[in-house]
Amino acid sequence: MKRAFKYRFRPTDAQAAELSRTFGCVRKVYNLALAARTEAWARQERVNYNQTSAMLTVWKKTEELAYLSEVSSVPLQQCLRHLQTAFTNFFGKRAKYPRFKSRKKSRKSAEYTTSGFRFRDGMLTLAKMAEPLDIVWSRPLPEGAKPSTVTVSQDAAGRWYVSMLCDDPSVKPLPETSAAVGVDVGLDHLLTLSTGEKIANPGHERRDRRQLAKAQQVLAKKAKGDGANRRKARRKVAKVYARIADRRRDGLHKLTTRLVRENQTIVIEDLTVRNMVNNRSLARAISDAAWSEFRSMLEYKAAWYGREVIAVDRFFPSSKLCSACGTLQDKMPLNVRTWTCDCGTTHDRDVNAAINLKAAGLAVSVCGAGVRPQRSTPGGQSATKQKASRREP
């Protein structure tokens, strides 16, 4: 199993300058190749990776772009391969048309293959550098692991990272178990499990909202442009965002790892988060909950360890269906958190939804069919819209 191991490192001034030049050259080559392919597309012609690679050789020989020869050629070739992948996904209707990289907004990164770095005795040295990187080894690499690719990046907060892709023999399927769980996501509680357990929403962004607002106010008062004071203020805002994202990611990793280790089958709801964040009153709370990131982590960890993740159709009326007798309620206002069915069973709204999701997911697993009992609720409002209408806590 291929797995990426990411570490922070502290570059010297010379290394930071070399990497910054490399980032700029990667961005320049990507944009030049994208422009060339776009112009060819307008002429109803197609340009592939081999042609853009030949263009790169010509660009290096021009006086205007001679500086491209000053950095390692490996990251420049890799960015052309990434552009080829972007066009392949576009023609396969899996992604939108590739966009140009912005100097201020695009991610600063460069990817090196085995010909662009040397890894010996735990020391990583990149091409065009005399000294190895000062890596903070927060965890060891797998025994005997040799990186196949190395990606160096710098985030908006100014932190430097190196990611090494290695074979990890420790990633293997876990022993099978009969345990299954339904998971209902929300805002009051981040997760509600079919076992009745409720996991509180930590509200990472809400905890630092005051500091974030203060940093943004300072940034807004700085003169527009690329001045040093504005860069410092922008960096402070980025550091607050980075701290929020780090805490959120750490919490989601712990939750998803626990769910995957304890259960063979995990049933979730197939929510359209992209549409739900259009609700301006709830967009901040939904984004902070990071439901999409939770699902992404859950799916790739389940693939690693031989587990199964089932996504039930978003229009399945999990909240209005009695998990005891199967009666479907006509209406279920969002302010109703507990309700009693005609059969006499009293339900917690979220726990009942999680139990119904589990039952529907297991039915999907057995029969192999999708779950789409109805497209909308009797009141005309879709289940997705109902979930997005909850008030921010």
In degrees and rounded to multiples of 5, residue 388 shows phi and psi of -75, -10
pLDDT score of 389 more than 80 = no
Amino acid letter, residue 87 = F
Q: How confident is the model at residue 378 (pLDDT cuts 50, 70, 90)?
A: very low
pLDDT at 365: 65
pLDDT at 220: 94
Question: Which candidate, 286, 222, 212, places its Cα nearest to that of 242?
Answer: 212
For a pLDDT cut of 70, what percent of the chain falls above it? Answer: 93
Quote the DSSP letter at residue 198. Answer: E
Q: Is 312 left (phi over 0), alpha (psi -120 to 50) or beta?
A: beta
Question: Which candidate, 349, 304, 62, places its Cα nearest to that of 187?
Answer: 349
How high is the mean pLDDT of the chain? 87
List residues with catalytic annotation: 184, 269, 350
pLDDT: which is higher, 312 or 379? 312
Q: How confident is the model at residue 273 (pLDDT cuts 50, 70, 90)?
A: confident
Interval 41-94: pLDDT, tens: 899 898 999 999 999 999 999 999 999 999 999 999 999 999 999 999 999 999
What's the average model confidence in pLDDT over 290-314? 91
pLDDT score of 301 more than 60 = yes
pLDDT at 243: 94
Secondary element (H or E) of residue 166: strand 160-167
pTM: 0.81
pLDDT score of 385 more than 60 = no
Interval 234-265: pLDDT, tens: 999 999 999 999 999 999 999 999 999 999 99
pLDDT at 52: 96
pLDDT score of 149 more than 90 = yes
94-123 per-residue burial string, b: 16 or more CB within 10 A, e: under 16: eeeebeebeeeeeebbbbbeeebbebeeee
